[in-house]
Amino acid sequence: MKKTGLYRILAAVFAAILLFGCGEDRTYEYLEMTKENQWTYSKMKEVYLWADSIKTPARTDFFAATTKFFTSLKYKNDFVSFFTDTVSASTYGMTCAVMRDPIGERPGKTYALVLNVEPDSPASLAGIRRGTWITAVGGRALTTSNTSLLQSGAATQIVTEYVGFSEEKNSYYWAGADTLQLAESTVSATIDIPVDRIFDLYDRYVGYMFVGGFAGENFKKHAAEVLDGFASANVSDIIIDLRYCSGGSMENAAWLASSLVPADKIGTPFCTLKGNGDETKAVYDYEDTGISLGDKSVYFIIGNDTKGVSELLVTSLNESRAMNDVITLGKKSAGANVMVEEFASPYGFSINPATAYIYTSGGMTLSAAGISPDYSVNELATLPNVHELGMEQEFLLYNSLYLIVNGTLSYE
């Protein structure tokens, strides 16, 4: 007999003993032992976008590990819902791109290039910056199969290497290494707009804002301060950098969009959320924010990590602004076209199921294929060097500014 079959039989016998052992009704004990999965099942039936696809589990199924039980409830084509074993997953606070040696000096060695560091995160406090090259974590050489060590965990050491340039050979080389102490991963405290600037480009002013996420409680306050600054400077163009923005509050995204549409769009839908059975769950309208920048050209920097409400922001503004003054640069976005919400359990974990389809301001479903940029630009084209976000020399920002002034890309 296969082990799985034996386990099922034993679980069934155990459940029967619990429920009816010694002639007593022991339902309370059964419910107490399976309470985590009972909560998960009840919540999924209540909020899940594909709740109709959930089959009633057998009593023995409720004894499974909670992660496995949650996965068993998911629709077969659901690739977005996920489980976390803490209410808010901890992180070291950095986004990395993993690759073989970009210089070619050590072809078999794996490197992680840090692309973004959250302010005040363990990574930031350790001295890690955008452009840092990581080669080892916790005494283990980095490989393509252990990059999860860079996401979260206990306090550890990391080894970083830095690049030099030989004028004589006209080439880059690995010049040395440092060891940094990385503190234990923590719950991310989202700083929604960590970088904003205004560029003076001869006869025009251009505003730039990097949006790290839409989840912050103070997002509207921070965004209002930045946009008021743009309005006071009379910028002609606005660059919104969403390349690492993976989502957040729909309300915050709608608020930002409301400040960027023509006045005649106020009061019309920014988006509509529809749940199982096509019922309307919520409608978010463009509102009067007191900030009117609808006459400015808007440029979005996007990438593979741009997803969900970030994609919605780009698409709905494209539809609401006649499509001719919303320009996208970068790489194709993720194509996350459903709403995923976090529900914290009373037991120290959370489930994050898909809860609604997202419809744009024009009434179309948000594309699962992602957004293909108007101008395809790879921010890693300048390897092994990358500049800090918000610096004029940073490759994507530089090309955005060049496009605004010259109507074409530089690629330099």
Q: Quick one: average pLDDT of 306-317? A: 95
pLDDT tens across 183-236, in order?
999 987 767 899 999 999 988 999 999 999 998 789 999 999 999 999 999 999
Q: Is the pLDDT of residue 15 over 60?
A: no
Mean pLDDT of the chain: 90
pLDDT band of residue 391 (cuts 50, 70, 90) is very high
Residue spans of the domains in the chain: they are: 3-78, 90-187, 195-406
Cβ(130)–Cβ(157) below 8 Å: no
Task: List the single range of 80-89, 239-248, 292-301, 358-367 with lowest mean pLDDT.
Answer: 80-89
CATH code of domain 90-187: 2.30.42.10
pLDDT tens across 77-131, in order?
999 999 988 655 789 999 999 999 999 999 999 999 999 999 999 999 999 999 9
Q: Is the pLDDT of residue 177 over 90?
A: yes
pLDDT tens across 252-279, in order?
999 999 999 999 999 999 999 998 878 8
The pLDDT value recorded for residue 1 is 47
Distance CA 121, CA 182 (A): 10
Q: Quick one: average pLDDT of 291-310? A: 95
Secondary structure in 3-state letters for 90-128: EECCEEEEEEECCCCCCCCCEEEEEEEECCCCHHHHCCC
CA geometry: angle 9, 10, 12, nearest 5 deg: 65
CATH code of domain 195-406: 3.90.226.10
Distance CA 274, CA 244 (A): 26
